[in-house]
Structure 1
C-alpha cells in the first residue's frame, strides 16, 4: 500500500518536468481552475491530469471579495504549498500581472517563491500596471515576462511560463502575432490569447487560431507549432458557436484549455443542499443525492487517505498500538463499506 503523495519519491520529480512530459502526445488536456485542496482532490479523483489555481476563485474563496488584485504573494504561496503537498498533479498558478502592481521585480520574486512552493509554473499577463485598462507596450511586457522567466529558473528550477496576450486578434492581428513572437523570445513556454473564446463565431474562432498558428510557423525555428492554451472552454451543446475539444486537437498546437467549474459547482451544491437542510430540518438530502452522482462518501475525510489507508499506514508506523493512531481511529469511524470513489470501476 502506497504512502501519501507527500511522502513518496514521486514528490521529488519536478512538477514542471511532469507537465512538459505531457506534451509528447497529441492530446488536449482540460485544466480545472480551482482554489483549494478540495477542488484539487476532486479533480484528481475525476481523472484530470493538471490543475490551475484561478486568481479569481482564490480571491472569492479566501476573502469574499471579487478578484480586485488584493491577494498577496503569501496568499498564493500558501495555497501552492497546500495543494502540491497533497497531489502529484502539476499545478499552474494564475499570477495575473506578476503578483501585484505589475512591476517586473514583483514577477521575478513571486515566481521564485511559487517554484519553491512546488508549482509547475505560472500564467502571467501583459496587462497594464495597477489594473489600468489595456496592455503594456511590447517592450515593457517582455521585461515582465523575462523577469518571470528569471524567477521560474532561480535556484535550479525550470518552471513553465504561460504568457497571456490580451490583444484583439480579429481587429489587431499583426500586433497579436508580433506580441506572441516577442513573448516567445522573452522565455514563454506556451501562449494564451485571452479573448480568442470571445469571438462570436466558431468558424471565425478556428480561422483566427489557424491564422495565428500559420503566422508563427512562417517565422520558422522555435516558433513552429508553438504550444497554445485555449482560455475558458465553454459549453458546446448549448452554444453551437463554441469550439470543441476536437476542433482544438485538429489545429495541432493546442495542448491545454482551462475550464471554470470547481468553485461554481461547490457553491451550487452548497446552496442547493443548504436550502433543503434548512427546509427539511435534516441532513438526508446529502445522502440520497450523492446516489445521483455515482459517488458515495460518509464524509469528505474518507476521500483524503483514509479509505486507501495511506495515512493510516503512515501513522501506524510510529505508534505502539494501532488505536494510538488518529488516522486509524478516524478510518474505523469515517470509512464505510458502501463508499464509492470511482463510479467507473463499479460493477
Structure 2
C-alpha cells in the first residue's frame, strides 16, 4: 500500500530533502507539472523536484496570468500534485495574494497542502507574467514586509521561502541585486531573479548574492535557454522549467484535434499517443489490483457467495 494512493514520503521529509538539495552543490531540476500525473512522470524520469507554475494554473483555467487566480485554487492544485509524488514541490505564490498578512496566511495554507516551498514576488498586485513588458514592482521595503511576514508564519523551519524579484527589466540588474540582498536579510532562503538576459547576467547575479539561487528556463521569454550543466557550473542551485510540459501537451493536442477535424478519424495519430498500457503502468494499475485482491479475497461461510 505504501506509496500507492499517496506518496510514501512525508511533507516534512520532502522539505528536508529540498533544503539538502539546495545546499548539495548539485543543480536541483524542477520541471513544471500541470497535473498530478505529470508529477508522477517527473519523479519516474529522475528529476529532483516538481514545480507548480502560477501561469500554468491560470492557463489550465483558461485565464491569463494577471493575478486572477486565488490562494484556494493554487493551493488546491499544489496539494493534488504534492500528494502523489515523493519529490519536493515548489509552488508559485505570486505576490502572496494580498497584503503582508495575506502572504503569511499563504505560507500556512501551503504548508498544510504538503508543499516544500513557495516563491513570492515583488510585483505590484495584481501581477503579470514575468516575461512580459509593462510590469511594475513595489518599493523594496514593501516586499521586505511580505518576506518577513511569510517567514514569520512558517511553522516548519524547513519550508523554503523564495524571494522573486522582477526588478531586472524595470530598474536594472544592480538594483535587482540590491533588492535581493534586502530580501535575504528579511528571511528569504532562496532568490529567483526573473527575466535575466544571458549567461553573463546569471554570473553577475551569482557573484552578488550569498544564498542559493534559482534560474527560470522558460521558453519564448527574455532569458537565453542555458543548459543545466552550465547553470550548475555558474553556481546556481535550482532551475525551473515552468510551462514546458503544458506547451508540449497543448501543441500535441491542438495538432491532433485539427487532424481529427480534417480527416474524421484519429487513426493516423496512434503513433503519437501514449499507449493505454503505458498509462496503466504510470498509474500503477497492477499494484492497485494486487491491493484489491489482498483486501477483498475473503468469503463469508454460508452466504452462498
Query: For this structure pair, what is the TM-score category when the shorter chain's length is used for normalisation?
Result: 0.7 to 0.9
Determine if the alignment matches structure 1 residue 210 to structure 2 residue 203.
yes
Residue 39 of structure 1 contacts residue 263 of structure 1 at CA under 8 Å; is this kept in 2? no
Displacement of 1:243:
3.0
Are 2:81 and 1:83 equivalent residues in the alignment?
Answer: yes
- The partner residue of 1:257 within 229, 239, 243 is 239
Larger RCO: 1 or 2 (CA < 8 Å, sep 6+): 2
1:341 is aligned to none
Change (3 A) 1:176 1:68: closer
Helix, strand or coil for the counterpart of 1:130?
coil
Distance 1:88 1:285, change over 3 A: farther
In structure 1, the partner of 2:102 is 106
Contact 1:5 1:11 in 2 (8 A): no
1:273 matches 2:256: yes
CA distance in 2, matches of 1:28, 1:273: 35
Runs (5+) with no aligned partner, structure 2: 129-134, 300-305
**Aligned-pair CA distance for 1:321:** 5.6
In 2, the alpha carbon distance for the partners of 1:70 and 1:171 equals: 26
| TM-score normalised over the length of structure 1 | 0.75
The match for 2:90 is: 92
- Specify the alignment match of 2:27 in structure 1: 28
Contact 2:217 2:225 in 1 (8 A): no
Give the aligned length. Answer: 291
Task: Report the counterpart of residue 56 of structure 1 in structure 2.
Answer: 55
- What is the aligned partner in structure 1 of residue 131 from structure 2? none
Give the root-mean-square deviation of aligned CA atoms.
2.8
Partners in 1 of 2:225 and 2:79 — Cα distance?
35
- Structure 1 gap ranges (5+): 200-204, 217-222, 323-347
Give the TM-score, by structure 2 length.
Answer: 0.84
Matches within 5 A, 1:1-347: 3-4=3-4, 6=6, 8=8, 10-11=9-10, 13-61=12-60, 63-98=61-96, 100-101=97-98, 103-131=99-127, 133-151=135-153, 153-154=154-155, 156=156, 158-168=158-168, 172-196=172-196, 199=197, 205-216=198-209, 223=210, 226-234=211-219, 242-252=225-235, 254-259=236-241, 260-290=243-273, 296-298=275-277, 300-306=279-285, 309-320=286-297
